Chains A and B, each alone.
Chain A
Amino acid sequence: MALRAAATGARRVLSQSILSSLLKGKYSFYSTASLQDGDFADIVISGGGMVGAGMACALANNALLRDKKIVLLEAGKDSGDFTVPDQFSNRTCALNPSTVRLLSSFGAWSEIEGMRCFPVLRMQVWESCADAMITFNNPDMSEPLAYVVENDIILASIMCALKNVKDQVEIRYESKAVEFNLPGTDKSEEAKLPFVKLTLNDGSVLKTKFLIGADGMNSAVRNASGFHTLKRQYGQSGVVATLMLGEGLSNTTAWQRFLPTGPIALLPISDTMSSLVWSTTPEHARNLQELSNESFVDAVNDALWHEREKNEVAGKLLNGFKSVLNNILPADTEGMRQLPPTVIDVVEKSRAAFPLTLIHSSQYVRPRIALIGDAAHRIHPLAGQGVNLGFSDVACLNDTLTKAVSCGADPGALTHLLQYETERQRQNIPVMLTIDGLQRLYGTEFTPVVIARSLGLHAVHSMPFLKKMIMERASA
């Protein structure tokens, strides 16, 4: 038996050696052809922000991509080891459960928990023109709706997690692509190459099978790809600041009040502090930045508490509607109105403003290119969905690549990338339209609209199954 096995083995070795000799024709022209000069990477990620670094980390931890060379291009400098500053940063994100799952999958979430994050157990949304409001929370407030984390900490944690897989990803700081040669864009000899050729700012050339554009709202990858892009100025600016809160039992609620000029939101970042995101007219935003600290605090409190925009007709109708609904549906104690906190101070130099724009690329992919995060879509901050959509892109693209590679496909193969585009646009576009719609709906004081929206909001608030559905959508 053993003898026979040995004989079979020998025969196989022999036959394979014949085949090997058949296969090993020397491709002598490699050195002379212009195809192989410069660096080569299987996957290049352009932009090392939260989403770009997250993408690199997800790919580096993907067992099927272990033999792929992955390069992350970051225009900024290597900031070295990160230490958590005492002062809170004014740029924060509310990370939803699916983002937390993604970050946990490659070890970044435990880094964040080791640094600083704060849970949001409850959310209350109301408006200045009527008494209608809506609250969201998980049953018994057991599970947080989201975690508020500073952007710096998210990025630092991902970079920390990347250090654990540093053999997998090459991070090139202070480098970015300045020239793109994409397959099929022009008729030059270079363009016939089935690869993406990048010329970096230091003049070196990098070739890749797959370029991921994670380079933010003014994406150079998107521009080079020639994707049709929808851009709209909201005519609003976002004012951010770190606020100190007065009395109060616990600070675990995210507050959002719609004003005719735009929504104002407070996200809890510690027991006594909240992060402000106030969308308003550019003139008002400029004023708010120039105000003294005391006047700014007064302005914030006024925006949260004032009653002068109340619409009487809408108020009466809403009260009638409420009493009717109360007779049909049992009252929900968890959904009771809570009073917003009183702001007592603003952290020095934490105020900043930035213009708000809507950007959406009609396509996310073309052969050997994919866009993720803000490069593909940038939305209004009113629902705190921006970065979560970006991380969902990361999770989806990672799954798509896993599937492609397990089929032996080229990572940049369009067949698989189109699945990524379809799946992401199916989620991103409804979110964008909803947020855009909300922004328009609450941007007016016109009585019929006020009545309609306040009755509608209260109706949704009274129907727990609808609320549950909205929460599931927002955290998916």
Chain B
Amino acid sequence: MKNHPRYECNRDHHYFAPTRRQVRCHGAMLQCVHQNLLPWECCSQHYKNFTTVEEMTPEEKAQKFQRPKAQTTIDEEEVSKFSALSAMWWDEGGEFEALHSLNELRVPLIRDALVSKKTLNEYDRTKPLDGFWVLDIGSGGGILSEPLARLGASVVGVDASEENIKIAQAHLIHDPAIRDRVKYVHSTVEEIAQTQAGKFDAVVASEVLEHVADANTLVTSACQLVRPGGSIFFTTLNKTRIAHLLGVIVAENVLGLVSPGTHDWEKFVAPKDLSYMLHRNSFATRLIHGMCYNPLTKRWSWSKDTSINYALHAVKSSDTGETNVWTQEKK
């Protein structure tokens, strides 16, 4: 305990020892819930998110720790109720336009990373992802889940919003080709990780990390879900000043790409922090690419500059003896 390293907070350069119950961040003293709080946890959390388990009422506890509720069916009444909302999600010129066009980058990224593990004999051009199990965290209306399923993957979409799950289901039933390949589950990643740990070939958290209160918990749970040798993918916003300016202020208030209040800069995660979180979960980062959105053409393109949006691919160290540069260095 005494030798515990001091961490540098990546925002305001406040030093603190993670083992202390009280931490200083942004000039305020915060009561820490967990013993091993890390700098990014401290910075990404606002004090209001600090509620301890002990403080919860029994109802809240029951709600938080209930078993994953598998949404197996959606009845006809719900289909008509949610189809209007689903039309909004799936309007490619509407509110989620940027998410639709992001598929042009993220689907090939996931496809090519996974397909590289196949031999030529296993490769089917029309269904390159056949046989892969993919978990889509924060599946929303299913904008990413459906294309992955169309490429042959078996997709489980998980979303904390029951409404989103219904919306996604209302859209999915219209496509007979993929509706047996996609399953939407109303749950949280932490809950799924309790029962399905190590069962997915790939876990995708696209445009999710910047919305969660506790990125470290999400990353840890997501990492548990990946099988050894499997992949994890993130696309999110960097924690830079330019991301704050363009990704939040300009995108929300000037260009109106996303509705105001969508993004909270405090919650953004820098690639090096994300990479380190993954490293602690025995993941090796394979690539970090910058992504650039052109509001005139309304298209995304890859870029060297990771200062606004970036995509990250990491691979879990496998127990089959695959060389892992990161762990070797440590030894």
Which A residues contact B (CB, under 8 angstroms)? 4, 8, 12, 15-16, 18-20, 22-30, 32-33, 35-36, 40, 42, 63-67, 184, 189, 192-195, 209, 367, 405-410, 413-415
The distance from the CB of A399 to the nearest CB of chain B, in whole angstroms, is 14
Top 6 A-B residue pairs of the complex, sorted by shortest distance between their CB atoms: A25-B72, A408-B147, A408-B150, A414-B92, A408-B151, A15-B199
Residues of chain B with a CB closer than 8 A to A8's CB: 320
* Complex contact B156–A409 (CB within 8 A): no
Which residues in window 46-98 of B have CB below 8 A to A? 70-76, 79-80, 83-84, 86-87, 90, 92-93
Contact A33 B100 (CB under 8 A): no
Given contacts A12-B227, A23-B182, 20 further A-B contacts (CB under 8 A): A15-B198, A16-B133, A19-B154, A22-B70, A22-B185, A23-B154, A27-B179, A28-B73, A29-B76, A32-B76, A35-B173, A36-B176, A66-B125, A67-B177, A192-B87, A406-B108, A407-B108, A410-B150, A410-B175, A414-B93
Bound state CA distance, A28 and B173, in angstroms? 11
Expressed in whole angstroms, the Cα–Cα distance for A321 and B308 within the complex equals 61
A184 to B100, CA, bound (A): 18
Q: In the complex, what distance in Å separates the CA atom of A360 from the CA atom of B100?
A: 29
A119–B176 alpha-carbon span in the complex (Å): 49
Contact partners of A407 in chain B: CB under 8 A: 103-104, 107-108, 111, 147
Task: Summarize B's interface: helix, strand, loop or mixed.
Answer: mixed
Report the Cα distance A4→B125, complex, angstroms: 31
B181 lies within 8 A of A23 (CB): yes
Q: Is the CB–CB distance between A25 and B183 below 8 Å?
A: yes
Tell yes or no: B126 within 8 A of A by CB.
Answer: yes
Query: A residues within 8 A CB of B151?
Result: 408
Min distance, Cβ A336 to any Cβ of chain B, angstroms: 48
Q: Which of A19, A66, A408, A413 contacts B148 (CB 8 A)?
A: A408
Interface residue? B180 (CB, 8 A): yes
> Would you give the 0/1 interface string for B141-158, flagging 1 where the beta carbon is closer than 8 Å to chain A?
000001111110010100
Chain B residues within an 8 Å CB radius of A25: 70-73, 183
| Nearest Cβ on chain B to A206's Cβ, whole angstroms | 14
Min CB–CB distance A367 → chain B (angstroms): 7
B104 touches A67 (CB 8 A): no
Q: Which single member of A19, A24, A35, A409 contacts B196 (CB below 8 Å)? A: A19
Nearest neighbor of B72 in chain A, beta-carbon distance: A25
What is the chain A residue whose CB lies nearest that of B318? A8
- Tell yes or no: B241 within 8 A of A by CB: no
Q: Which of B87, B125, B148 contacts A194 (CB 8 A)?
A: B87
Least CB distance from A285 to B in Å reads 45
A12 to chain B, nearest CB (A): 8
Residues of chain B within 8 A (CB-CB) of A406 are 108, 111
In the complex, which residues of chain A have a beta carbon less than 8 angstroms from the beta carbon of B185?
A: 22
B125 touches A64 (CB 8 A): yes
Report the separation of the CA atoms of residues A76 and B266 in the bound assembly, to the nearest whole angstrom: 65
Residues of A within 8 A of B156 (CB): 19, 22-23
25 contacts between A and B (CB under 8 A): A15-B198, A16-B199, A19-B196, A23-B154, A23-B156, A23-B183, A27-B179, A29-B76, A33-B79, A35-B173, A40-B176, A63-B125, A63-B126, A184-B87, A192-B83, A405-B126, A407-B104, A408-B103, A408-B151, A409-B147, A410-B150, A413-B92, A413-B100, A415-B92, A415-B103
Q: Which residues of chain A have C-beta atoms less than 8 A from B239's C-beta?
A: none
Chain A residues near B70: list those with CB within 8 A: 22, 25
Distance in angstroms from A340 CB to nearest chain B CB is 49
A350, B194: Cα distance in complex, Å:
80
Q: Contact between B320 and A26 (Cβ–Cβ < 8 Å)? A: no
CB distance from A23 to the nearest CB of B (A): 5
B92 touches A192 (CB 8 A): no
| Option from A33, A63, A192, A195 in Cβ contact (under 8 Å) with B84 | A192
B126:A64 contact, CB within 8 angstroms:
yes
B101 at the interface (CB under 8 A from A): yes
A residues within 8 A CB of B196? 18-19
Chain B residues whose CB sits within 8 angstroms of the CB of A415 once the complex forms: 92, 100-101, 103-104
Query: Is B304 among interface residues, defined by CB-CB distance under 8 A?
Result: no
Cβ-defined contact, B76 with A33, below 8 A: yes
B2 within 8 A of A: no
A19 to B100, CA, bound (A): 27
> Roughly how many angstroms separate A193 CA and B86 CA in the complex, as a whole number?
10
Neighbouring A residues of B149 by C-beta, 8 Å: 408
Q: Which residue of B lies closest to A29 (CB)?
A: B76
Closest B residue to A15 by beta carbon equals: B199
Q: In the complex, are the beta carbons of B176 and A29 less than 8 A apart?
A: no
CA distance A35 to B79 in the complex (A): 11
Is B174 part of the binding interface, using a Cβ–Cβ cutoff of 8 Å? Answer: yes
Smallest CB separation, B109 vs chain A (Å): 10
B166 proximity list for chain A (CB < 8 A): none
Residue among A4, A29, A195 with the highest chain B CB neighbour number at 10 A? A29
Q: CB < 8 Å: which of A19, A65, A193 contacts B133? A: A19
> Residues 93-121 of chain B: 1 if any A CB is under 8 Å from the residue's CB, otherwise 0?
10000001101100110010000000000
Bound CA–CA A42/B175 (angstroms): 10
Quick check: is B127 within 8 A (CB to CB) of the other chain? yes
In the complex, B316 has a CB within 8 A of chain A? no
Known interface pairs A15-B198, A22-B156, A22-B183; A35-B107 also in contact (CB < 8 Å): no
B171 within 8 A of A: yes
Q: Please, how many angstroms separate the alpha-carbon atoms of A198 and B182 in the complex?
A: 28
A66 to B133, CA, bound (A): 23
Q: Which of B101, B104, B179 is the most central at the interface, judged by chain A CB atoms within 10 Å of its CB?
A: B104
Residues of B186-232 contacting chain A, CB below 8 A: 196, 198-199, 227
Smallest CB separation, B176 vs chain A (Å): 7
Query: CB-nearest residue of chain A relative to B297?
Result: A422
> Hey, which chain B residues are within 8 Å of A20, CB to CB?
154
Q: How far is the CA of A20 from the CA of B92 in the complex (A)?
A: 31
